[in-house]
Amino acid sequence: MQILSDHKMFEGHQRIYLHESEACRTEMRFGLYVPPDVDAATAPILIWLSGLTCTEQNFITKAGAQRKAAELGMILVAPDTSPRGDAVPDAPDAAYDLGLGAGFYVDATQKPWDQHYRMEHYIARELPALLAQELGLGSAQEGSGKMGIAGHSMGGHGALVLHFRHPDLFKTVSAFAPIVAPTMVPWGEKAFTAYLGADREKWRAYDACALVGTYKSTAHILIDQGLADDFLDSQLQPHLFEQACAEAGQALTLRRLDGYDHSYYFIASFIDDHLIHNARGLTGATG
């Protein structure tokens, strides 16, 4: 792995790493914030999954999460949202919601996407192994009980789905404005048709509303949703997940926040709450 940048921040270090990915068959980047005076072998880790069009930069430069992470002693990991590079296929029309920047955190099964778009394997297998083996972050090991996952929009979808599918790896979960029912909204229908094929039954494996009734989670899920979000009714529909959680007996706090939109202004306003929520579940810390 190469360190592309290293900036001191709140007495810790914000770094960007570059490495060759076996899962995605291309170079991948991720941001890593390590607070001061933490034991890398035991410190809790929060994986952040960003939304459509984002890279590893959006979260680390806009969310303002490092200050609270330093207080909590929590390591932050912010991977890119999809594979990139000249050999990686993109949408024919360069659409923002398919292809580069729009991996949807699934393992694609359809050509030409299946050779590179293996984001579930990357996030849930390859990246944790790199964090543990190459950087000594012991909490990235499956079964440690000290790694959580969070995200925004497409990344919120990824956080919920990967938590349900890998509960021994991601003990806690939270999300901002997640796509909770991708099988029923345009963003998900477009991406899943391309990446997973026409069989809609197979899509359910990556739909949080379907998974909550199948996979048992001991986590208390936190979701924040702005009521001024332009995508609320057309793409997000959090009430569907709220209903699915109620039917499944899944613990959920869904906060509907008046006046907030889909932007990082919204995320920056409540990111501390999400770090505390995950730290509480991972270590008992209250912030």
Active site residues: 153, 229, 262
Beta carbons of 124 and 173 less than 8 angstroms apart: no
Q: How many CB atoms lie within 10 A of CB 220?
A: 15
φ and ψ of 234, to 5 deg: -85, -35
**250 in Cβ contact with 219 (< 8 Å):** no
Q: Is 3 buried (19+), middle (13-18) or exposed (0-12) by CB count in 10 A?
A: exposed
Taking alpha carbons only, the member of 42, 44, 29, 38 closest to residue 11 is 38
Question: Which residues, in sequence order, are CB contacts of 153 under 8 Å at separation 6+?
Answer: 51, 52, 176, 177, 178, 179, 231, 236, 262
One-letter amino acid of 80: D
Give me the phi and psi of 78, to 5 degrees please: -125, 90
**What residues have CB less than 8 Å from 233, skipping those under 6 apart?**
none
- Residues with Cβ within 8 Å of 287's Cβ and at least 6 positions away in sequence, in order, are 68, 71, 72, 272, 275, 276, 279, 280
Yes or no: say if 149 and 217 are a contact pair by the CB < 8 Å rule: no
